[in-house]
Amino acid sequence: MLETDKVFAGSIPENYDRYMVPLIFEPYAADLAQRAASLSPSAVLETAAGSGVVTRALAPKLTHVANYTVTDLNQPMLNYAASRQPPDTRINWRQADALALPFENATFDLVCCQFGAMFFPDRTSGYREARRVLKPGGHFLFSVWDRIEENVFANDVTNALAQIFPNDPPRFLARTPHGYHDTAMIRRELEDAGFSRVAIDTRAEQSRAPSPRLPAVAYCQGTLLRNEIEARETGKLESATDHAASVIADKHGSGEVVAKIQAHVISAVA
């Protein structure tokens, strides 16, 4: 992962939440929230919360006495997440690095993280931190994307941009969001961090959009792919987005578009 893969700023948080969340994140957030709530946790830590899609899904399912600490490394993302959440005295918003959590040992019943582990510079260290702050027998629940070929719109956009920039194709989506999909590696790194009872559920969903342009805008302008496009040629963002939309339209049609997305949902016990 490159250092630029961690920098969410400017209009990216808003575009991310407006376009990416309904396109690919909402069904997995609902699933993760249901799994989390079924554990009946009283103290929950969410890491890499992003724009707050899991927070919005999980908070209503927790008991009225639960304590829910929501963190992200990136303050603009955390600010945006907090702005979307109704007032809730159970929720504590805090900027935090998942690899160096500012919490005491054995504090939480549950640590959850949706599509954040791929961004950890050292995933085993991140997993050790999750285990450190969990109470004995506590649960770690998180998700990561499967390989890019199983996530059709992301693959379409990546291939479209390779046509525009053949000498230096933007590979952010393949490199980082879809770069951590080896289930044997995931299991090994969790066990190396001291977790047991690792379970991995590979779950397919459908990504829907009212037009081919929406997934093009979502990926090109609502993710860090935007930074890679703009770094290659100033002023190229709109034409690159247009080309990605045309490629999706050629493949999926000009009206509502539907394509497969797939992720691994992982649980482990401290």
pLDDT in tens, 208-257: 999 999 999 999 988 889 999 999 988 899 999 999 999 999 999 999 99
Amino acid at the residue 120: F
Q: Which tokens hold the place of 96? A: 């935090």
Cα gap 175→125, rounded to integer Å: 20
State mean pLDDT over 202-207.
Answer: 96
CATH numbers and ranges of domains, the chain: 3-269 (3.40.50.150)
Q: Which tokens hold the place of 71? A: 């963190």
pLDDT in tens, 153-187: 999 999 999 999 999 999 999 999 999 999 999 99
Q: Which secondary structure element, helix H or strand E, spans residue 34, and what is its range?
A: helix 26-37
Higher pLDDT, 8 or 197: 197
Q: Tell me the sheet residues that pair with 131.
A: none
Q: Which tokens hold the place of 94? A: 């805090």
| Residue 30 pLDDT exceeds 50 | yes
Mean pLDDT of the chain: 92
DSSP assignment of 81-114: HHHHSPP-TTEEEEE-BTTB--S-TT-EEEEEEE
List C-alpha distances in Å: 73 to 94, 100, 102: 9, 10, 12
pLDDT in tens, 122-135: 999 999 999 999 99
- Global pTM reads 0.91
Cα gap 148→173, rounded to integer Å: 8
Cα gap 212→188, rounded to integer Å: 39
pLDDT in tens, 83-110: 999 999 999 999 999 999 999 999 999 9
State mean pLDDT over 137-155.
Answer: 97
pLDDT at 11: 55
